[in-house]
Amino acid sequence: MADTRTHIEVMGILNATPDSFSDGGKFYHVDHALRQAEQMVQDGAAWLDVGGESTRPGSEGVSVAEELDRVLPIIERLQANFDVPISVDTCKTAVMAEALKLNIAMINDINALRDEGAEQLLASAPDVKVCLMHMQGEPRTMQHEPRYDDVVNDVKQFLDGRVRACVNAGIQKNNIYLDPGFGFGKSVRHNYQLLQRLQAFHDMQLPLLIGMSRKSMIGHVTGREVSERLAGSIAAATIAAMKGAQIIRVHDVKETVDAMKVVAATLAGEFA
Protein backbone atom coordinates (compact mmCIF):
# COMPACT_ATOMS: atom_id res chain seq x y z
CA MET A 1 0.00 0.00 0.00
CA ALA A 2 1.31 3.44 -0.86
CA ASP A 3 2.39 5.64 2.01
CA THR A 4 -0.53 8.01 2.58
CA ARG A 5 0.51 9.26 6.00
CA THR A 6 0.93 12.83 4.81
CA HIS A 7 -2.70 12.92 3.64
CA ILE A 8 -4.68 13.03 6.87
CA GLU A 9 -8.41 13.75 6.78
CA VAL A 10 -10.58 14.98 9.63
CA MET A 11 -14.07 13.53 10.06
CA GLY A 12 -16.58 15.67 11.95
CA ILE A 13 -18.92 13.89 14.35
CA LEU A 14 -22.60 14.79 14.00
CA ASN A 15 -24.68 12.95 16.59
CA ALA A 16 -28.41 13.07 15.91
CA THR A 17 -29.10 11.64 19.35
CA PRO A 18 -30.47 12.96 22.65
CA ASP A 19 -27.98 10.99 24.76
CA SER A 20 -24.48 10.80 23.22
CA PHE A 21 -21.74 11.16 25.82
CA SER A 22 -20.31 14.44 24.51
CA ASP A 23 -22.93 16.37 22.55
CA GLY A 24 -26.14 14.46 23.15
CA GLY A 25 -29.19 16.57 22.34
CA LYS A 26 -27.29 19.50 20.84
CA PHE A 27 -27.83 18.50 17.21
CA TYR A 28 -30.93 16.36 17.64
CA HIS A 29 -33.03 18.62 15.41
CA VAL A 30 -32.33 18.93 11.70
CA ASP A 31 -31.75 22.69 11.69
CA HIS A 32 -29.31 22.46 14.59
CA ALA A 33 -27.45 19.62 12.89
CA LEU A 34 -27.28 21.59 9.66
CA ARG A 35 -25.73 24.59 11.40
CA GLN A 36 -23.16 22.39 13.12
CA ALA A 37 -22.35 20.67 9.82
CA GLU A 38 -21.89 24.03 8.13
CA GLN A 39 -19.40 25.07 10.80
CA MET A 40 -17.52 21.78 10.50
CA VAL A 41 -17.26 22.13 6.73
CA GLN A 42 -16.03 25.71 7.07
CA ASP A 43 -13.46 24.47 9.59
CA GLY A 44 -12.09 21.93 7.13
CA ALA A 45 -13.93 18.66 7.73
CA ALA A 46 -13.25 16.22 4.88
CA TRP A 47 -16.06 13.92 6.09
CA LEU A 48 -19.26 14.25 8.12
CA ASP A 49 -20.21 11.21 10.21
CA VAL A 50 -23.91 11.05 11.10
CA GLY A 51 -25.12 8.80 13.90
CA GLY A 52 -28.60 8.22 15.26
CA GLU A 53 -27.88 5.79 18.10
CA SER A 54 -25.69 6.50 21.10
CA THR A 55 -22.94 3.92 21.63
CA ARG A 56 -21.54 5.35 24.85
CA PRO A 57 -20.78 2.78 27.58
CA GLY A 58 -24.01 1.60 29.18
CA SER A 59 -26.26 2.89 26.42
CA GLU A 60 -29.38 1.06 25.30
CA GLY A 61 -30.22 0.52 21.64
CA VAL A 62 -32.97 2.18 19.64
CA SER A 63 -35.35 0.72 17.07
CA VAL A 64 -34.67 0.80 13.35
CA ALA A 65 -37.60 3.17 12.85
CA GLU A 66 -36.36 5.63 15.45
CA GLU A 67 -32.81 5.59 14.12
CA LEU A 68 -34.06 6.20 10.58
CA ASP A 69 -36.26 9.07 11.78
CA ARG A 70 -33.19 10.65 13.33
CA VAL A 71 -30.66 10.28 10.53
CA LEU A 72 -32.42 10.28 7.16
CA PRO A 73 -33.71 13.88 7.25
CA ILE A 74 -30.25 15.08 8.29
CA ILE A 75 -28.52 13.12 5.54
CA GLU A 76 -30.92 14.52 2.95
CA ARG A 77 -30.26 18.10 4.07
CA LEU A 78 -26.50 17.56 4.23
CA GLN A 79 -26.47 16.15 0.70
CA ALA A 80 -28.47 19.12 -0.56
CA ASN A 81 -26.27 21.74 1.08
CA PHE A 82 -22.68 20.45 1.19
CA ASP A 83 -20.26 18.80 -1.19
CA VAL A 84 -18.63 16.70 1.53
CA PRO A 85 -18.82 12.89 1.70
CA ILE A 86 -21.24 11.57 4.30
CA SER A 87 -20.50 8.63 6.57
CA VAL A 88 -23.32 6.95 8.49
CA ASP A 89 -22.52 5.51 11.91
CA THR A 90 -24.82 2.51 12.28
CA CYS A 91 -24.70 -1.22 12.95
CA LYS A 92 -28.16 -2.06 11.57
CA THR A 93 -28.48 -3.51 8.07
CA ALA A 94 -31.92 -1.93 7.61
CA VAL A 95 -30.54 1.54 8.40
CA MET A 96 -27.58 0.98 6.10
CA ALA A 97 -29.93 0.02 3.26
CA GLU A 98 -31.96 3.22 3.54
CA ALA A 99 -28.85 5.38 3.93
CA LEU A 100 -27.29 3.85 0.79
CA LYS A 101 -30.32 5.02 -1.19
CA LEU A 102 -29.20 8.58 -0.38
CA ASN A 103 -25.75 8.10 -1.95
CA ILE A 104 -23.75 8.23 1.25
CA ALA A 105 -20.02 7.52 0.94
CA MET A 106 -19.23 5.31 3.95
CA ILE A 107 -20.81 2.98 6.48
CA ASN A 108 -19.05 3.30 9.83
CA ASP A 109 -20.03 0.21 11.82
CA ILE A 110 -19.00 -0.40 15.44
CA ASN A 111 -20.13 -4.02 14.93
CA ALA A 112 -17.93 -4.59 11.84
CA LEU A 113 -20.82 -5.62 9.53
CA ARG A 114 -21.86 -8.57 11.70
CA ASP A 115 -25.58 -7.77 11.48
CA GLU A 116 -27.41 -10.24 9.25
CA GLY A 117 -27.19 -9.24 5.59
CA ALA A 118 -24.78 -6.35 6.15
CA GLU A 119 -21.85 -7.90 4.28
CA GLN A 120 -24.00 -8.73 1.26
CA LEU A 121 -25.57 -5.28 1.26
CA LEU A 122 -22.19 -3.52 1.17
CA ALA A 123 -20.93 -5.94 -1.46
CA SER A 124 -23.75 -4.65 -3.67
CA ALA A 125 -22.53 -1.06 -3.19
CA PRO A 126 -19.04 -1.03 -4.73
CA ASP A 127 -18.67 2.75 -4.53
CA VAL A 128 -19.19 2.88 -0.77
CA LYS A 129 -16.42 2.66 1.82
CA VAL A 130 -16.87 0.71 5.04
CA CYS A 131 -15.15 1.07 8.38
CA LEU A 132 -14.87 -2.11 10.45
CA MET A 133 -14.46 -1.45 14.16
CA HIS A 134 -13.48 -3.76 17.00
CA MET A 135 -15.72 -3.89 20.04
CA GLN A 136 -15.59 -6.40 22.89
CA GLY A 137 -19.15 -7.09 23.99
CA GLU A 138 -21.86 -4.51 23.30
CA PRO A 139 -22.28 -0.87 24.36
CA ARG A 140 -24.50 -1.77 27.32
CA THR A 141 -21.89 -4.10 28.86
CA MET A 142 -18.60 -3.47 27.05
CA GLN A 143 -16.84 -1.70 29.92
CA HIS A 144 -17.56 -4.44 32.47
CA GLU A 145 -14.01 -5.69 33.09
CA PRO A 146 -12.73 -6.07 29.50
CA ARG A 147 -9.91 -8.62 29.22
CA TYR A 148 -7.37 -9.54 26.53
CA ASP A 149 -4.34 -11.81 26.26
CA ASP A 150 -2.64 -9.07 24.21
CA VAL A 151 -4.98 -6.24 23.25
CA VAL A 152 -3.17 -5.29 20.02
CA ASN A 153 -2.83 -8.85 18.75
CA ASP A 154 -6.36 -9.76 19.81
CA VAL A 155 -7.86 -6.72 18.06
CA LYS A 156 -5.78 -7.38 14.95
CA GLN A 157 -6.92 -10.99 14.88
CA PHE A 158 -10.56 -9.95 15.10
CA LEU A 159 -10.24 -7.31 12.38
CA ASP A 160 -8.33 -9.69 10.13
CA GLY A 161 -11.18 -12.19 10.42
CA ARG A 162 -13.75 -9.55 9.62
CA VAL A 163 -11.78 -8.31 6.60
CA ARG A 164 -11.57 -11.86 5.26
CA ALA A 165 -15.31 -12.39 5.77
CA CYS A 166 -16.17 -9.12 4.05
CA VAL A 167 -13.87 -9.79 1.09
CA ASN A 168 -15.30 -13.31 0.78
CA ALA A 169 -18.78 -11.75 0.72
CA GLY A 170 -17.76 -9.61 -2.25
CA ILE A 171 -16.69 -6.32 -0.64
CA GLN A 172 -13.68 -4.79 -2.37
CA LYS A 173 -10.72 -4.77 -0.03
CA ASN A 174 -9.71 -1.27 -1.12
CA ASN A 175 -13.05 -0.01 0.24
CA ILE A 176 -12.27 -1.12 3.81
CA TYR A 177 -11.02 1.05 6.68
CA LEU A 178 -10.10 -0.31 10.11
CA ASP A 179 -10.83 1.10 13.57
CA PRO A 180 -9.36 -0.62 16.67
CA GLY A 181 -12.25 0.78 18.70
CA PHE A 182 -10.80 3.01 21.38
CA GLY A 183 -13.12 2.95 24.39
CA PHE A 184 -15.23 0.06 23.11
CA GLY A 185 -14.60 -2.78 25.53
CA LYS A 186 -11.17 -1.54 26.61
CA SER A 187 -9.73 -0.37 29.89
CA VAL A 188 -7.71 2.84 29.99
CA ARG A 189 -4.56 0.72 29.91
CA HIS A 190 -5.82 -1.18 26.85
CA ASN A 191 -6.56 2.09 25.05
CA TYR A 192 -3.08 3.47 25.57
CA GLN A 193 -1.45 0.18 24.60
CA LEU A 194 -3.39 0.38 21.33
CA LEU A 195 -2.30 3.97 20.77
CA GLN A 196 1.32 3.21 21.64
CA ARG A 197 1.43 0.32 19.16
CA LEU A 198 -0.97 1.68 16.53
CA GLN A 199 1.61 1.25 13.77
CA ALA A 200 1.28 -2.53 14.23
CA PHE A 201 -2.01 -2.35 12.33
CA HIS A 202 -0.19 -1.34 9.15
CA ASP A 203 0.65 -5.04 8.70
CA MET A 204 -2.94 -5.39 7.51
CA GLN A 205 -2.29 -2.92 4.66
CA LEU A 206 -5.56 -1.05 5.13
CA PRO A 207 -6.16 2.59 6.13
CA LEU A 208 -7.01 3.44 9.73
CA LEU A 209 -9.94 5.55 10.93
CA ILE A 210 -9.31 6.58 14.53
CA GLY A 211 -11.68 8.15 17.06
CA MET A 212 -10.56 9.18 20.56
CA SER A 213 -12.14 12.63 20.74
CA ARG A 214 -13.21 13.60 24.28
CA LYS A 215 -13.35 9.95 25.39
CA SER A 216 -12.87 8.74 28.95
CA MET A 217 -9.31 7.64 28.15
CA ILE A 218 -8.56 11.37 27.81
CA GLY A 219 -10.47 12.31 30.95
CA HIS A 220 -8.80 9.61 33.03
CA VAL A 221 -5.32 10.92 32.27
CA THR A 222 -6.08 14.65 32.38
CA GLY A 223 -8.72 14.70 35.09
CA ARG A 224 -10.89 16.85 32.83
CA GLU A 225 -14.63 16.67 32.23
CA VAL A 226 -15.92 15.99 28.70
CA SER A 227 -16.19 19.66 27.76
CA GLU A 228 -12.57 20.30 28.81
CA ARG A 229 -10.82 17.53 26.89
CA LEU A 230 -9.80 19.45 23.75
CA ALA A 231 -6.07 19.58 24.48
CA GLY A 232 -5.92 15.91 25.41
CA SER A 233 -7.94 14.98 22.33
CA ILE A 234 -5.61 16.97 20.08
CA ALA A 235 -2.61 15.21 21.63
CA ALA A 236 -4.17 11.79 21.03
CA ALA A 237 -5.12 12.69 17.45
CA THR A 238 -1.60 13.94 16.76
CA ILE A 239 -0.04 10.73 18.07
CA ALA A 240 -2.43 8.62 15.98
CA ALA A 241 -1.67 10.64 12.85
CA MET A 242 2.07 10.43 13.43
CA LYS A 243 1.64 6.66 13.68
CA GLY A 244 -0.13 6.53 10.32
CA ALA A 245 -3.87 7.05 10.79
CA GLN A 246 -5.57 8.34 7.62
CA ILE A 247 -8.86 9.65 9.08
CA ILE A 248 -9.24 11.23 12.51
CA ARG A 249 -12.85 11.33 13.79
CA VAL A 250 -13.46 14.28 16.13
CA HIS A 251 -15.90 16.73 17.68
CA ASP A 252 -13.50 19.70 17.44
CA VAL A 253 -12.81 20.01 13.73
CA LYS A 254 -11.10 23.39 13.45
CA GLU A 255 -8.44 22.71 16.06
CA THR A 256 -7.81 19.17 14.82
CA VAL A 257 -7.45 20.31 11.19
CA ASP A 258 -4.73 22.75 12.29
CA ALA A 259 -2.96 19.98 14.21
CA MET A 260 -3.13 17.63 11.24
CA LYS A 261 -1.58 20.26 8.97
CA VAL A 262 1.41 20.38 11.31
CA VAL A 263 1.60 16.58 11.41
CA ALA A 264 1.45 16.34 7.60
CA ALA A 265 4.17 18.95 7.20
CA THR A 266 6.32 17.11 9.72
CA LEU A 267 5.87 13.73 8.03
CA ALA A 268 6.65 15.26 4.65
CA GLY A 269 9.64 17.11 6.06
CA GLU A 270 8.59 20.26 4.27
CA PHE A 271 5.82 22.79 3.85
CA ALA A 272 4.30 22.76 0.39
Residues 41, 82 contacting (CB under 8 angstroms): yes
pLDDT higher than 90, residue 244: yes
For the annotated catalytic residues, the residue numbers are 215, 249
Residues 131, 108 contacting (CB under 8 angstroms): yes
Across the range 251-260, mean pLDDT stands at 98
Tell me what pLDDT residue 19 has: 47
Domain covering 9-19+26-267, topology: TIM Barrel (3.20.20)
Residue 7 binned pLDDT confidence (cut-offs 50, 70, 90): confident
Residues ≥6 apart with Cβ < 8 Å to 138:
none
Residues 120, 168 contacting (CB under 8 angstroms): no
Angle at 1 between CA 13 and CA 243, to 5 degrees: 50
Residue 142 binned pLDDT confidence (cut-offs 50, 70, 90): low
Nearest to 12 by CA among 36, 45, 39, 54: 45
pLDDT in tens, 172-229: 999 999 999 999 999 999 999 999 999 999 999 999 999 999 999 999 999 999 999 9
